[in-house]
Amino acid sequence: MPTNLIKKVQNTVFQYNLFERGDKIVLGVSGGPDSTAMLDIFSKLRKKYSLELIIAHVNYGLRGRDSERDEKFVREMANSYGYPFLKLGFRKILKPSFRTENELRNIRYAFFEKIRSEKKFDYIAVAHNADDQVETFLARVIRGAGLLGLSAMRYKNEKIIRPLLNIPRSEILEYLKKNNLDFRVDKTNLESKYARNIIRNDLLPYLEKKFNPAIRKTIFDATVSIAEDYALISDLTEKEYKKLKDFDVKKIKKLHPAIQRNLIRKVLEEKKGDLQNIGAANIEEILKIIKSTKNKAQTVVFKGLKITRKGDKIKIE
């Protein structure tokens, strides 16, 4: 199993062009099973690919002594492998109830990017696995995501790479066991407190028991298929976007609905800087005023954006 897993990661690196020989990579390591396995795999691939590696760790301080033990564990791992160790810690931090998963994720990725940028490294490797992909998909289905959201996480997203994305958690645990590798366990993952934990601990086992024992693989395969479909729509959207000199209602109405929605997302992202908190309902609000046959000016306001239609022109501020 260990050799096969390393081979699997190498195939993923090749198939998705995750990095090149001689690249410099920041490894995001929490000390949990996934990131511990990723670190060990990269240590085995380092010489073959002439990689330079740095270990980055975030100590949110949310779990008291356990957080300190996680940091100590990762620091000692970094020393044993001979890699530099950089950490982000907090002297004062809000109570866990005030921190959403999204906020913690943003803190983590901002820290990783800061290291990558300052050290002039090429990529940031994070240890999401196939089970994480399935959980993300279900979370987005429940929240009401569009095609982009349902294609879930990508193997390579600009500077972020996910070399373990197609590997089930069970294989990762088997790899750790066969290589006698210790890892830290975040006990909060066992609590059905956050939405993701409820999906992991309650919903998925229920779906496996009542509907489909292979539901994880079924959903994972669906995310791959959806991602490929979305890539095609994204390419077609890009072509239309380049032709779009202004937001003209008549031109947009001629496009396929899937292209219309993606075009709107692209324009909103350009104006706002990101699509955070922009949901399918917001896109539909804009489509509604595009399709409207009323002659009077119409305005939609949400998430710090103001969208106005006057005649056949749409203005976004």
192 token code pair: 């059905």
Task: Tell me: do 183 and 269 sit in the same domain.
Answer: no
Task: Tell me: do 173 and 28 sit in the same domain.
Answer: yes
Please give the C-alpha separations between residue 211 and each of 137, 224, 313, in angstroms, as whole numbers.
17, 21, 49
Which of 164, 188, 212 represents a domain boundary (last residue)? 188
Question: How far apart, in whole angstroms, are the C-alpha atoms of residue 64 and residue 68?
Answer: 7
Task: Tell me: do 172 and 277 sit in the same domain.
Answer: no
Asked if the structure places residue 218 within a domain, the reply is no
> Residue 39: which CATH number?
3.40.50.620
267 and 255 Cβ atoms separated by less than 8 Å: no
Task: Tell me: do 59 and 171 sit in the same domain.
Answer: yes
Summarised one tens digit per residue, pLDDT across range 194-227 is 788 899 999 999 999 999 999 999 999 999 899 8
Summarised one tens digit per residue, pLDDT across range 259-317 is 988 888 888 888 877 777 777 788 888 888 888 888 788 888 887 888 888 888 888 88
Task: Tell me: do 46 and 156 sit in the same domain.
Answer: yes
pTM for this entry: 0.83
Alpha helices in 144-214 (DSSP H): 147-150, 169-178, 195-198, 204-210
**Residue 254: domain span:** 247-316
Asked if the structure places residue 139 within a domain, the reply is no
User: How many domains, the chain?
Assistant: 2
Which of 188, 205, 234 represents a domain boundary (last residue)? 188
Asked if the structure places residue 202 within a domain, the reply is no
181 token code pair: 């590798």
Question: How far apart, in whole angstroms, are the C-alpha atoms of residue 291 and residue 288?
Answer: 5
> Residue 266: which CATH number?
3.30.465
SS3 state of residue 272? helix
Task: Tell me: do 20 and 120 sit in the same domain.
Answer: yes
